[in-house]
Amino acid sequence: MEHHPLEGSKMVKDVSLQQLKDMLAEFARVRGWEQYHSPRNLLLALVGEVGELSEIFQWKGEVERGLPNWSPDDKEHLEEELSDVLLYLVQLADVCGLDLGQAALTKILKNARKYPINPT
């Protein structure tokens, strides 16, 4: 397999949604896959990956925060499935012409107004 420029670069900090969006658009473009990346197809792919993510937790019972009892392999698998969900979500927002980062910020503000902190 070809050597990707980001291979081994776990040092990249503060990855932005914009960066992911651009890399994914390029990934699809150079493979001639833009034709398949319609909003509906990306939504179905996203839901499929959510299913794969759910499988990891299926039958495990409750899981402690920080996953203290999970093996490195299991954690890596979880990282991959979470990433698949994120990457399809970013692509879905992109082909819909939406700014996901901006939309998420706006939603956080809306949530804060809807659920004010209880005075104690």
Residues at the site binding ligand DCP, with contacts judged by CB under 6 A = 33, 36, 52, 84, 87-88
Q: How many CA atoms lie within 13 A of 61 on its CB side?
A: 2
DSSP 75-107: HHHHHHHHHHHHHHHHHHHHHTT--HHHHHHHH
- DSSP class of residue 38? -
- Closer Cβ to ligand DCP, 25 or 70, answer by number: 25
As measured in angstroms, the least distance from the Cβ of 95 to ligand DCP is 11
Whole-angstrom distance, CA of residue 30 vs CA of residue 67: 38
- Closer Cβ to ligand DCP, 48 or 112, answer by number: 48
As measured in angstroms, the least distance from the Cβ of 117 to ligand DCP is 37
- Closer Cβ to ligand DCP, 17 or 88, answer by number: 88
Q: Could you tell me which of 27, 77, 16 has the C-alpha nearest to residue 49?
A: 77
As measured in angstroms, the least distance from the Cβ of 107 to ligand DCP is 24
As measured in angstroms, the least distance from the Cβ of 119 to ligand DCP is 44
